[in-house]
Amino acid sequence: MENVLKEITPKSQDYSQWYVDVIKKADMVDYAPIKGFMVIKPYGYRIWEFIQDAMNREFRATGHENAYFPLLIPENLLLREAQHVEGFSPEVAWVTIGGGEPLAEKLAVRPTSETIIGAMYSKWIQSYRDLPVLMNQWSNVVRWEKATRPFLRTTEFLWQEGHTVHRSAQEAEQETMQQLEIYRQVIEGELAIPVVAGRKSAGERFAGAVETYTLEALMGDGRALQIATSHFLGQNFAKAFDIQYLDEDGVRKYGWTTSWGASTRMIGGLIMVHGDDKGLRMPPRVAPIQVVIVPIAKGKDADAVLAYAKQVADELAGEFRVRVDDRPEFTPGYKYNDWEMRGVPIRLEVGPRDMANQSVMLARRDTGEKTPVAAAGIVETIRQRLDDIQHTLFQQALEHQKSHTVVVENYRQTEEYGYRGFFEGDWCGREACADQLKEATGMTIRCLPLNRKPLNTGCVVCGQPSTERMLFARAY
């Protein structure tokens, strides 16, 4: 059992296998008996709960309410918005039999909920006084993926999806950007993952949207991850689902709608951004366990040291998520490796000498640094260390992103970097060039970064005058 780390494939040897090894060994997920589905175990699900808590605080502060809508969507609803159904049809799972009888109309297992929510909003909204409607739901969705990987891309996954209706395009556009900013605050502030905010190109836009905005993160292997999106839907869905209201001037008008979502793929991003060859490194704000205490003693000192460890734990328990590892069947070395693999930010080692000195040995997961600290004032010490670890993990990830972001004038320059990293360059706006870029390099336009102007060096593909500055990369 001392060789637990030998069971984790080094990142440099096989990044994909490293990822699978870590989430399995850290007891985050298991594979379900249906291909493409996963079971999220308590250690992994706790992270999702912290994400929910952080987002719900922001949603409620901006006037949004949680609701729940049906899992199954009648085919006629899904077909009402042509672009939408075309974009999702390859991934839709259908229910055709219920109670042993063929259904008169087949039902889609929701790939997303714009259609069913639009149908309900058309019933509920009658007057301008009913607006805005600001709702969010936490749910599962199903998209029949061909290639799957836990958290990153699975047939069923958990997410939140917000759906709003407004009186004007300006209100809806403001909502779209507000939610993108909320995502940025949660992802950078809680998960310590730096992101690039931008607008999707037409070819990468959400099906049925007027504009899609995205947050893109760079993983440890140099691939991008779309980690959250916010969509300005204009009146496309309002017209498809007859979402109208009687305005103050007595005229019936169509509403302006938005939708926005983020999923459990954020957990996959957390693993790939912060993890190392020892396993996970958890940002303290979402760590299921923030402090683990390992008593080290045998014989006559064992009971006293364990009692001292529990005393320290009791003092910390009111402020932090603490665990005392008193498992007698494992050695201290095994416990160190085990908790490092699970990414616990701080480990406190307690032995007879520490007990005599009224101190503990503090080990940081992010840096590996070990220092003795006094038991007196331990709460404040831990608070400061956790804040520093949160900051350090973000700064390390930000430095990785910056050092792996390259400005190019021609897409062929990306070959010398092994097509790994974020690449910035000019784009003429033609989808033909985006298609050529993808065919030649496997990279896609991740976004058109906000507040970044063209470099005026010409399109990286065709050399013609540019209209946009783009961020492109290979992606999950």
pLDDT tens for 400-445 read 999 999 999 999 999 999 999 999 999 999 999 999 999 999 999 9
CB 37 within 8 A of CB 367: no
Structure tokens at 120: 């309900």
Other CB atoms within 10 A of residue 122 CB = 18
Question: Over the chain, what is the mean pLDDT?
Answer: 95
Q: What is the pLDDT of residues 110-158, one digit of tens each?
A: 999 999 999 999 999 999 999 999 999 999 999 998 889 999 999 999 9
DSSP 360-379: EEEEETTT--EEEEESTTHH
Record the tokens describing residue 110, joined without a space: 């929701």
Backbone φ and ψ for 226, nearest 5 degrees, come out as -75, 115
Q: Which residue reads 């063929």 in tokens?
A: 102
Q: What is the pTM of this model?
A: 0.95
Name the residue among 102, 117, 5 with its Cα closest to residue 70. 117
Kindly list the domain boundaries of the chain, sorted by start residue: 4-274, 291-385, 405-473
Give the DSSP per-residue string, 236-296: HHHHHTT-EEE-TTS-EEE-EEEEEEEETHHHHHHHHHH-BTTB----GGG-S-SEEEEE-
For the domain 291-385, what is the CATH code?
3.40.50.800
261-271 mean pLDDT: 98
Residue partners of 253: CB distance under 8 A and separation at least 6: 167, 244, 245, 247
Q: Measured between alpha carbons, how far is residue 183 from residues 200, 211, 223, 351, 390 in Å?
A: 16, 17, 20, 43, 18
Q: What is the pLDDT of residues 73-123, one digit of tens each?
A: 999 988 887 666 676 778 899 999 999 999 999 999 999 999 999 999 999
The encoded tokens of residue 130 equal: 């009913």
Q: Which CATH code, of 3.30.930.10, 3.30.70.20, 3.40.50.1820, 3.40.50.10310, is assigned to 4-274?
A: 3.30.930.10
Rama region for 213: left / alpha / beta (φ>0; ψ in -120 to 50; rest): beta
CATH value of 405-473 in 3.50.50.60, 2.40.160.60, 3.30.110.30, 3.90.580.10? 3.30.110.30
